[in-house]
A = this chain, B = another copy of it.
């Protein structure tokens, strides 16, 4: 299977603790990296996890509380010093550019790459919107209710092609030039005139995978069936709520994080969530999860 991983750079909440860094994750989809939130220290954790800074092209910021974006100036200026040349897109509330412009103008002059602010459209706070798309992936926003305009992000693979049945291809001596057409749905007629329909030549595609990030807030989005939502909550009463949302959404797995500083270990939160939704994981700095 193609790579689809989530790397936890930070899973603390606003007040940092000795155990945790503030929010930051890196989603790796087929070696393209996407950062979600960029709390202070994200660049440190990024390098510690040996992620490739050239492969990161897009950063998504869920909302403008400091613990979700104070790592940006350091990350941006470090990438400049490391000689990055490719554009970097920052998808965030439209206010962010004005907040960072004075610092970036002062400290990041003459870099060899451009930082492009892509303000999120206003509708993201009311309904899901497509904000990124490439050949194999879409990113939609998830509207969230929080103390300030906030959204989550849903990373979803595009429908995958079916698997070729190598045994049938060999048996029927189908030339390799026809493989793409067969993956796209065609059948095959032998020289003797026997027709083999497509479903005899392929096995079904893997179901597309998805990852939903819902940061320190209550959900109001419901997820579709294939999703592995992540509920980040600050208080222990909401670890159970995250689990209830995951259950209602038919998620495969739940990852909890954004721990309040009152917890020196996450076991109590994990147990609470698992009572409702057994396949729950507790995030931790350095964790890498295969979706």
- Report which A residues bind B (CB closer than 8 A): 14-18, 21-22, 40-41, 43-44, 47-48, 64-67, 70-71, 73-74, 77-78, 81-82, 95, 98-103, 106-108
Contact = CB atoms under 8 A, between A and B. Distances in A.
Q: Chain A interface mostly helix, strand, loop or mixed? A: helix
A81 B40 contact: no
A74 B69 CA distance: 10
A98 B98 CA distance: 12
Contact of A40 (B64, B67, B71): B71
Contacts of A66: 73-74, 77, 103, 107-108
Contacts of A44: 16, 18, 21, 40-41
Given A64-B106, A100-B103, A103-B103, 9 more contacts: A15-B82, A16-B43, A16-B47, A21-B44, A40-B41, A40-B44, A40-B74, A65-B107, A70-B77
Given A18-B48, A64-B107, A73 B74 contact: no
27 contacts: A14-B81, A15-B78, A15-B82, A16-B43, A16-B44, A16-B47, A16-B74, A16-B78, A18-B44, A18-B47, A21-B44, A22-B74, A40-B41, A40-B43, A40-B44, A40-B71, A66-B73, A66-B77, A66-B103, A66-B107, A70-B73, A70-B74, A70-B77, A99-B102, A99-B106, A101-B102, A102-B102
Contacts of A107: 64-66
B103 A99 contact: yes
A48 B70 CA distance: 19
Contact of A102 (B70, B74, B98): B98
Given A66-B74, A73-B70, A95 B99 contact: no
Contacts of A108: 66
A286 B4 CA distance: 37
Of A17, A21, A82, A103, most buried by chain B (CB within 10 Å of CB) is A103
Contacts of A40: 40-41, 43-44, 71, 74
Contacts of A43: 16, 40
A17 B73 contact: no
A273 to B, nearest CB: 25
Contacts of A82: 15
